[in-house]
Amino acid sequence: MMKTSGIISLIIMATSLLVLMLEAISNKNAKILSEKPHLRLLTTGAIVFSLLFLCYALLDSGQFSKKPTLYVNDVSSIFLIINTLTAVFIGKKTLKIQTGEIYFLILASLALSIVTVSSPSLLIKMVTSTSWLVLMTTLAIRSAQGGKKAEIGLKMLFFTIIVMVIFLLALLCLSYANLPINLNLLPLKTALADPMGFCGLGMIALLGLAFSGAPPFHFAHIDCANGSNTAVSFLFLSNSFIQGCALLFQIRFIFIKSELNMSHESSMLAFVLILGFIILWIRALDQSKILRMVSYVATSVGPLFSLSMLFGGSVLLPKMIFLLAMYSFVTLTLLTLYGSLAYMSPINFIWQTWEDLSGFGKLNPWQTLTFLVALASIAGLPGTLGYFVKLSLIAPLKDNLLFSGAIFLSIAIGAACTMRVFVFAFSKHASSREKPDAIRPHMSIVAASLILIVLGFFPFVR
Amino acid sequence: MSYFDSHIFHIFVFYPLIASLFITLIPTVDMASKLATAKFFSTAGLVVFFRVLFLYLNHQIPAELVLSLGSENLNINFTLFISKYNVFLYGATAALLAANCFMHEINDTKTNIHQVAPFLLAFFLYVCFGQKDLRVALPILSIANFLVYFMIGYTNKIRRGSTIFQMGVFLFSCDALALVLLQIPLNQINPAISIFFTMCLLTPGFARLCLPMLAPFTKKLLLNVDETEGPFIVIFQQLSGFIILILIKNELTEISASLLITISSITILGALYIAIVALLERKIKILPYYYLVYYSSMTTSLLLSTISDELWLISLVLFLTNLACFFFASRLASIIDRYSALSSNTIQLRGLCFISLTMFIGVPGLGMGTSLWTAIYSVFAFDIFALNVFFYIISATWILALILLSLAFILSMKQEDFYSETSTEKDTTYPPIKASMLSSPLFIAIVSWLIPLLIFYASHKGL
């Protein structure tokens, strides 16, 4: 059933992509989606149909509620589609160029990212993930403002090359050890016992860390999130985190299945992720530019998400619900953060500093409120969904007080960051006498922020 | 049991939420309707509370209220309990809400959020009072503080920004630390660090009770809250702190001698510090806050002096009387402040101010004196501290701090311009001082008798 649904959705998406590509090539500057309703219908229909079909197939499988970890790739595909739709929704408000070419790039990136997370073959993963990065680079450059284009392009291409080189090294190591490049066919004990095989898997873990945005292994996340358009930033970060987590999850799965004692390696992975997470928050604290700070905060969602997926757990929640909650956390927090930012147009420029935010909350309370809720949730302040996501790590990692201390530290730094925004937005007087922006954020953004708060009241982690 | 009585606890817990909805729906320009709605709901809430108390004392109310939602895979239960530990805290909050509505003119508030904030905060308190697990209550109290920060941020005080920042970061960090530590099973804790562990758990409670040693933001908070909203905000924090301490105390299996000494030292040093600061500053407007912190410290010390419930009722009586006297004195101070800016009735104003602060100095049978001496008697009667040298030092220091505070009060009253805004020019348009204002000290004196009488009556009924 899963394979049939995958093939059907693939055919529909490929058809819509092909049509969109042909239209985009033939008429480069036309706003084909707004001018040609049949194309809009085909594209949206293909995506929604794929989404529904995937959801149905997943629920119909019967095993999903019992062994949800076996279906991580399918859940990832579903959330990749949701995130792409969300990016299109944000883009309608923020993207200045809304030509067919842009939408083609967005949909092509979706197709590539789905193939990346679904395919067990390392060769296909290499081709699709590097192609995905090239597409994202194009999107980021096309949507960026002013002098940021060159910087973003340089960093993104560097990231692409690094990814390709690491993939090649991983392939080389596995080939040297006479191991298959298909992760599903890997003889687990042999692969981990062989130094070259272990090295190859280590390279894949490194790629997972890079896609998850964990410093020092991330190369372009901050600059892309800082310089490019809000919708593109959302798309790049959310889908990159999911791809990174999928890679790390596969490695962790191999560790567990091999039945070898890999606790040190697992702890090392957790340590790198948590360290990266704290570094991102510390860096966020010392930023003077608003968008730069937001970029660091948004990037910190990646390591937290990967940590929770790999090591988190809840006694009170079924594994399936927990898994869905973690994916929803990424989508909801980034949607609230970037969605509210899309409606904060007066400060939505890369050069704006904290002083420019003075009194903004008094003039635009709704935008600022949703923005603060997103920050608080990512920081993990008690009473938000993010807090439970962080708390879900403590029980599984209870042997090590260092992890508990690190989680506490990240919340404390996050509190400082959130309160700084709060003070500037609500406590200071407005620096300019501009009229209040009357546009309230979209209901979906308000609803997302409400969910982040309401779920924080239900203690599903103990 | 009637249908109304079977659902009375639901009604009582959710009425602040319904009130805030109604107040929000009324157009902003119609301030009189907003005020009338607020008064109606707060009075109705108080009446419902008395019914809840009556039913509870007669064991005619279910001890827990379960809100459940879920499906095959997921079932979420949200339970609210009513017990001897929280029933009077519910009453205190309902009374506070009513007093706040009747003693505060709602038409000078700034936004709709300011108008509904007391009701929302009361709702958060009701939900937290009904919990038995700190892991459920603390996140709610933590996020509710955003409303408090919003209210402080809207004032015109110079240091409101740094107040919010310091308070916010400190409280969020304390809460996070306590919640992270609560995830670690107690049997994994090394006995050598168990005092440190327990103190970390208690810190969110101590910080909200404004104990100066564990709440570095106290001074800024007291100086930078609005005169009209400040008392409510401070009492909200006090009630939150008290319930946190109760929940933690109920989880502890014993209070060791070293923990007792640590807590006693922290509370007494804080009280002494407050007394010295009051003596040096001699600001009459802030004195009620200092007295509040002093008696809160004493309450904390009493509450955590023993694991058994011997001093529980005494500390509750002391705490609630303290809150009543504080609310009265601080509100009267802001009203007097307004009158003194307009008129030259300084003798009457001085008289009122003197009487309101007299409630705090512990005159037997008047204001705090009704509870203070009962508390002192109980400590001796129960022989909690085994009457050793440590106990005598602690007692002497408490009395010394009270004497210093009273000295600060007398010296502040002696100053000519105890209100800086007092106008020397006679203004003929000032409103006359109302008779109700003059008789209010009598009212609060009666309330300070009623609180212990009601609580002790309830304890005789088997509370």
CA distance A160 to A132: 9
Question: Which chain B residues contact residue A318 at CB under 8 A?
Answer: 73-74
Compare A390 and B349 and report the one with higher pLDDT: A390
The whole-angstrom distance between A416's CA and the closest CA on chain B is 5
CB B314 within 8 A of CB B378: yes
Q: Are the beta carbons of B183 and A391 separated by less than 8 Å?
A: yes
Q: What percent of chain B has pLDDT over 90?
A: 24
Specify whether the CB–CB gap between B96 and B235 falls below 8 A.
Answer: yes
Distance CA A316, CA A402 (A): 25
Contact B137, B248 (CB under 8 A): no
Instruction: Confirm if A65 and A319 have CB atoms less than 8 A apart.
Output: no
As a whole number of angstroms, the distance between CA A222 and CA A237 comes to: 9
Chain A CB contacts of B78 below 8 Å: 458
Q: What is the pLDDT of residues B118-143, one digit of tens each?
A: 999 999 999 999 888 888 889 999 99
Give yes or no for residue B360 having a pLDDT over 80. Answer: yes
| C-alpha angle B69-B71-B75 in degrees, rounded to nearest 5 | 55
SS3 A121: strand
User: In this predicted structure, what is the pLDDT of residue A47?
Assistant: 79
Average confidence (pLDDT) over B425-446: 65
B230-251 vs B134-153: helix axis angle to the nearest 10?
Answer: 160
Nearest to B165 among A387, A395, A419 (CB): A419
Burial class (CB in 10 A: 0-12, 13-18, 19+), B365: exposed
Tell me the nearest-neighbour CA distance from A457 into chain B, angstroms.
6
Q: What is the mean pLDDT of residues B356-366?
A: 86
Q: State residue A32's pLDDT score.
A: 57
Evaluate the omega torsion of the peptide bond into residue A216 and state whether it is cis, within 30 degrees of 0: yes
DSSP state for residue B214 in the 8-state scheme: G
Kindly determine whether residue B172 and residue A415, on different chains, have CB atoms separated by under 8 Å.
Answer: yes
Instruction: Write the DSSP assignment of A264-316 as a string of letters.
Output: HHHHHHHHHHHHHHHHHHHHHHT--BHHHHHHHHHHTHHHHHHHHHHH---SS
Contact A253, A69 (CB under 8 A): yes
Please tell me the distance in Å from B162's CA to the nearest CA on chain A: 8
- Alpha-carbon gap, residue B392 to A265, rounded angstroms: 58
Comparing CB atoms, the residue among B138, B160, B176 nearest residue A427 is B160
Interval B296-314 mean pLDDT: 86
| Mean pLDDT across B410-438 | 59
Query: Could you count the other beta carbons within 10 Å of the beta carbon of residue B128?
Result: 24
Distance from CA of B76 to the nearest CA of A (A): 8
Residue B383 has pLDDT above 80, yes or no: no
Task: Please classify residue A342 by burial: count the beta carbons closer than 10 Å to its beta carbon, then call 0-12 exposed, 13-18 middle and 19+ buried.
Answer: buried
Phi then psi for residue B103, to 5 deg, are -100, 5
User: Rounded to 5 degrees, what are φ and ψ at B75?
Assistant: -135, 120
What pLDDT shows up at residue A153? 86
A15 vs B115: which has the higher pLDDT: B115
What Å distances lie between residue A407 and A307, B181, B366, CA to CA?
11, 11, 50
- Minimal Cβ distance to B165: which of A404, A412, A420: A420
Q: Looking at residue B380, what is its pLDDT?
A: 75
Instruction: Say if CB A89 and CB A341 are below 8 A apart.
Output: no
* CB within 8 Å: A422 and B144: no
DSSP string, B25-78: HS-TT-HHHHHHHHHHHHHHHHHHHHHHHHHHHTT-S-SEEEEEEE-SS-EEEE
Which runs of E-coded beta strand occur in B339-440? Answer: none
CB B98 within 8 A of CB B43: yes
Measure the CA–CA gap between B368 and B271, rounded to whole angstroms: 16
pLDDT at B328 over 60: yes
Beta-carbon separation of B168 and A391 below 8 A: no
Dihedral-angle region of residue B444 (phi above 0 means left; psi in -120 to 50 means alpha; beta otherwise): alpha
Count of beta carbons in the 10 Å neighbourhood of residue A439: 13
DSSP secondary-structure letter at A353?
B
Chain B residues 330-389 with a CB less than 8 Å from chain A: none
B146 contacts on A by Cβ (under 8 Å): 372, 376, 422
> pLDDT value at position A373?
92
Considering A178-182, B28-32, B224-228, B278-282, the range whose residues carry the highest mean pLDDT is B278-282
Q: Is A420 exposed, middle or buried (0-12, 13-18, 19+ CB in 10 A)?
A: buried
Contact B10, B94 (CB under 8 A): no
A241 CA to chain B: closest CA distance, Å?
A: 26
pLDDT at A5: 63
| A398·B188 Cβ contact <8 A | yes
Task: Please name the residue of chain B whose CA is at the shortest distance from the CA of residue A424.
Answer: B161
Cβ-defined contact of B73 to A453 (cutoff 8 Å): no
Q: How many CA atoms lie within 13 A of A415 on its CB side?
A: 28
Exposure class string for A58-74: b at 16+ Cβ within 10 A, else e: beebeebbeebeebbbb
Backbone angles phi, psi at B184, to 5 degrees: -90, 125
pLDDT in 10s for each residue of chain A, 462 residues: 556 666 666 677 777 767 766 666 666 665 656 666 776 777 777 778 778 888 888 887 777 777 887 888 888 888 998 988 888 888 877 776 666 677 778 888 888 888 888 888 888 888 989 998 998 888 888 877 766 788 888 888 898 999 999 989 988 988 888 777 777 777 766 766 778 888 888 888 898 998 988 888 877 888 888 888 888 889 999 999 999 998 888 888 887 777 666 667 777 888 888 888 889 988 888 888 888 888 999 999 999 999 888 888 877 778 888 888 899 999 999 999 988 888 876 655 665 777 777 888 877 888 888 999 999 999 989 889 888 888 888 776 665 777 888 888 989 999 999 998 888 888 777 665 555 555 677 888 889 989 888 888 776 655
C-alpha–C-alpha distance, residues B268 and B401, integer Å: 8
Instruction: Render pLDDT for B149-162 as a digit per residue (tens, 0 to 9).
Output: 888 888 778 788 88
Residue A11 parent element (H or E): helix A2-26
Strand partners, B67: B78
> 């509710």: which residue's tokens?
B144
Q: What is the pLDDT of residue B16?
A: 92
Residue A27: the pLDDT is 65
Q: Please determine, for residue B431, whether its predicted confidence score (pLDDT) is greater than 70.
A: no
Q: What pLDDT, in 10s, does the model give residues B34-55? A: 888 988 999 999 999 999 988 8
A378 at interface of B, judged by CB pairs closer than 8 A: no
Contact state of B183 with A456 under an 8 Å Cβ cutoff: no
Nearest to A459 by CA among B185, B123, B77: B77
Measured between CB atoms, which of B76, B142, B153 is closest to A381?
A: B142
Q: Locate all alpha helices (DSSP H) within B252-368, ordered by sequence.
A: 257-281, 287-303, 312-342, 346-358
**Which chain B residue shows the shortest CA-CA distance from A428?**
B161
Instruction: Mark yes or no for CB contact A422/B149 under 8 Å.
Output: yes
| Reported ipTM | 0.84
Alpha helices in A70-121 (DSSP H): 72-94, 100-118
> How confident is residue B241, by pLDDT bands cut at 50, 70 and 90?
very high
Q: Does A453 touch chain B (CB under 8 A)?
A: yes
Written as six digits, the tokens of A49 are 């149909």
Q: How far is A129 from chain B (nearest CA, A)?
A: 35
Phi, psi of B131, deg, nearest 5:
-100, 150
Neighbours of B96 (CB within 10 A): 24
Output phi, psi for A305, to 5 deg. -60, -45
Closest CB to B143 among A318, A394, A456: A456
Share the mean pLDDT of chain B: 82
Q: B224: which 2 tokens?
A: 């930078």
Looking up tokens 């564990």 gives B214
Q: Which of A411, A418, A458 sits opposite B76 (nearest CB)?
A: A458
Partners of A462 on chain B (C-beta within 8 Å) are: 135, 183
Look at residue B304 and tell me whether its pLDDT is greater than 80.
Answer: yes
